[in-house]
Structure 1
């Protein structure tokens, strides 16, 4: 499933917005990124997509299910009616050069102000027909793949892992849609699912505990350890393997995510060979593990017949994708998303220049005061260029930049005395090795030599 186009009319701050999503003829990537100042409308756009897509999920699960509606506060100030229109294709589009192609499913949601009569009505027939396609596939094959549809808002949080499971859940394909558009990372459900799958895996194979005991007693070169290792590998749960491999791809050095029961029930992971309780990880590490793990878990549940469940298709919306992440992880984030989940379409928002400057063919839009502008050619730019050209932000403290500019102007004019004074003042305040001050020092030395 892919979103082709979204149109907003009088929704929040948007009077009229018409946006297409990657892949397009110019952007082969499956990633669309939205940047802009706080209040520019990035979250409104993601929520509008999630609201529209909720009707497909609702009607896959129940024939006449109801999704989310536009709220009265979603109507732009001064307007009487708000409307969202969306165009979606089942699978990948055949001709990304066109805005709407033959066979696309298009539906609309409308909302009038309280006490007003609307001439525009919601039209959800295509959402129903698209959902019917998936229901028919499930009727013919109860393990037929379903598309992932998930929204991770900025309020997503990583809860502490529960030590007790109060309610027994079943985890079938449709459960992959549980809270997928209204809660973000559901770590409690993730833990319950992981524990159940791992218990089943251990029952049908060899547990890590047994393997560790044999290793301690007989060594890893013994025939019994080698045979037990082979048996364990053959009994690996495909869905758990998908989740573990996804986390390992995004978090180098992290391996062997598992549930441990001693000294108390907890989730453990090995970091550079050291076993840690997941609760001991940093906020950024927990956020990354929870986000990637949740996407992988849902794909694994909804694509049980695939050799690699991570190759299932779907739509993933992530608000402020760089939240809590170290710059090193921000830089590789889009590439990792595309490589690990190659058939998912991503729509992301970010405030980080590193996220959008290190991936090819990404479609980037800049939102500013309710207007949308496509911005191309960002691959390979350094963070400072992105800050200046795309995010309209100074690359350093404005007062320091002003004084550095004045210093360079005096050097260019040949005003040695003033330049020396400005340089001395900045040298007292700025740290050793400041690159702009080092450049100015070279120019100042040249000017002094010419004067001499």
Structure 2
């Protein structure tokens, strides 16, 4: 069964490159789906097709126009709006309120206006049914930057939402003391590029290492394991993705957080970009999950969350691109994850996922259908089906093949141009073993059909 806290549909009207487009986010229907894996939705397509716009629209469902709204800057007119369906409840937000009444309705059902700002016309509406109990209103109230996240000491959260980009934001930051982190776990949680907070992240690592050491000194190994758990999960994840052994360390003099990579101590500024990117958002997510007062007491990585990842493959070696989503899918079994990517290695890495190929800019209308990913597809097939790329070689080699096939067709028709055909075939064969095999196969086929002896010099 899919986790109950999930976005089920999204529709954009006059937003970014989209005139009017809608997407249904179905759970994976396969009966063989592993119940202990996250539900993943992948957005692919050319530059400018709206991948980030969709992620920003999803983030705004939970962000509630706090501060600078990423999606608001992509609204094209006062008629721009976004409809959504979350937990079987309809919702809508936009920039003009005059045509709406409360309660109102959209393509997904009825909703109430929950927030309206007359000075700039922004509005947000959600869930006419069980408006107070459905969870989203509590989430938006408690995470609003203008109010404390713990409106009441007994406030507990059923789910949470987070958004990250693939930027390598982690850096060396001075740790002046071991001190309590006072920032809320919801601060900038949906800002993508600004979600990772280097100072807080290193302070959290320092605090966990200190508390673990104090617990061990007191002989409380069970408490020490609790403090070590989140960091150990991160290092296990890195080992699964990158084949690297990591250890987070707290140096005493001067006080600083460092990381050991395969036994070598490295400062964060000197980490490879891909490794820095993964540690940045995974560790930040971990500290937020650990700090949230959850309603249900369980492993924090198993809590229901909505996770948005923009260009998760940036800075990563293809080998790491193939491994990152399967590792995250297992780490966060009750997550609904939305990912934008340009990488066929990412698309081909997960068996249970939905893939949405977004149309070229200017063609973003109608319903965008998702197709199920599946094991056994070659990267050649993924490039063709998902990314629309038919080429197998570099641009110059592909141009030579085009010329070769043109000359082949001419020769097969009127037996003219043999010398030029063989000259082009020779140029192709000189480009590499694979090209030579293709050319020789084609020449043998021509020889069989025409009865002429053909061979390269």
Does the C-alpha gap of structure 1 residues 133 and 118 become closer, same or farther in structure 2, counting only changes over 3 Å?
A: closer
- TM-superposed deviation, 1:347: 0.4
Partner Cα distance (1:354, 1:253) in 2: 20
Find 1:401's aligned residue among 386, 398, 401.
Answer: 398
Task: Give the number of aligned pairs.
Answer: 392
Aligned to 2:49: 40
Deviations 1:61-114 (A, max 9, x none): xxxxx67768764332xx44111222222xxxxxxxxxxxxxx333221203xx
Residue aligning to 1:120:
100
CA shift, 1:342, in A, is: 0.8
Deviation, structure 1 residue 145: 5.1
Give 1:18's aligned residue. 22
Q: Are 1:250 and 2:238 matched, yes or no?
A: yes
Provide the rounded CA distance (Å) in 2 between the counterparts of 1:440 and 1:159. 50
Q: Show structure 1 runs of 5+ residues with no match.
A: 59-65, 90-103, 207-227
Q: How far did 1:141 drift?
A: 8.4
Larger helix proportion of the pair? 1
Offset at 1:307?
4.9
State the match for 1:82 in structure 2: 80
Q: Secondary structure at the match of 1:451?
A: coil
Q: TM-score, normalised by structure 2?
A: 0.74
- Name the CA distance, whole Å, in 1 between partners of 2:443 and 2:70: 62
Shift of 1:385: 2.4
**1:201/1:402 Cα in 2 relative to 1: closer, same or farther (>3 Å)?**
same
Residues 1:440 and 2:439 are matched in the alignment: yes
Q: Please, which of 188, 192, 195 is the counterpart of residue 206 of structure 2?
A: 195
Q: Residues 289 and 41 from structure 1, CA distance in 2 versus in 1: closer, same or farther, beyond 3 angstroms? A: same
CA distance in 1, matches of 2:258, 2:72: 45
Aligned partners of 1:70 and 1:110 also within 8 Å: no
Distance 2:67 2:93 in 1: 10
The TM-score normalised by the length of structure 1 is 0.75
- Asked if structure 2 preserves the Cα contact closer than 8 Å seen for 1:201 and 1:236, the reply is yes
What secondary structure sits across from 2:358 in the alignment? strand
Match of 2:376 among 380, 385, 390: 380
Contact 1:13 1:41 in 2 (8 A): yes
Determine the C-alpha separation between the residues in 2 that align with 1:107 and 1:167: 43
Cα deviation digits, residues 265-286 of structure 1 (max 9, x gap): 3333332333333333201111
How many angstroms apart in 2 are the aligned matches of 1:437 and 1:408? Answer: 14
RMSD: 3.5
Aligned to 1:162: 173
- In structure 2, distance between residues paired with 1:232 and 1:255: 24
2:325 corresponds in structure 1 to: 334
- 1:110 paired with 2:119, answer no
Map 1:223-372 onto structure 2 (within 5 A): 231=219, 233-251=221-239, 252-262=243-253, 264-302=254-292, 306-368=297-359, 369=361, 370-371=364-365, 372=368
Structure 1 residue 9 displacement after superposition? 1.7
Q: Which residue matches 2:195?
A: 184
Aligned-partner Cα distance in 1 for 2:446–2:57? 59
Gaps of 5+ in 2: 102-122, 143-149
CA distance in structure 1 between the aligned counterparts of 2:373 and 2:216, rounded to whole angstroms? 51
Offset at residue 24 of structure 1 (A):
4.5
Q: Tell me the CA shift for residue 3 of structure 1.
A: 1.1
